[in-house]
Amino acid sequence: MKQAINAFERIRSSAEFLEIERQREIMRMNEASALRHARDTERVKWQGVIAGKDAEIASKDAKLASKDAEIAELRARLKG
């Protein structure tokens, strides 16, 4: 058993093993960065869509307000 532990320790402290572990850590960081970038890009895209829809709604609200004012004016004429 002690031989197996010693063999494991030798492998784990070898330059090749340490390099593989370093590359794995870089890969994990790159993956996290790519995922973060994709999420941020998607968020920006949807913020643009939402801003466009907000502008459409505001325009329609303004048209409705104008029509409401016109209706109120016509009702006032009918009563008076």
State the total domains in the chain: 1
Q: Residue 69: which domain range?
A: 2-79
Rounded CA-CA distance 31/37 in Å is 10
The pTM assigned to this predicted structure is 0.56
Contacts of 17 (CB under 8 A, 6+ apart): 11
pLDDT tens for each residue of the chain, 80 residues long: 888 888 888 888 899 999 999 999 999 999 999 999 999 999 999 999 999 999 999 999 999 999 999 999 999 999 97
Burial code (b: 16+ CB inside 10 Å, e: under 16) for 17-44 equals eeeeeeeeeeeeeeeeeeeeeeeeeeee
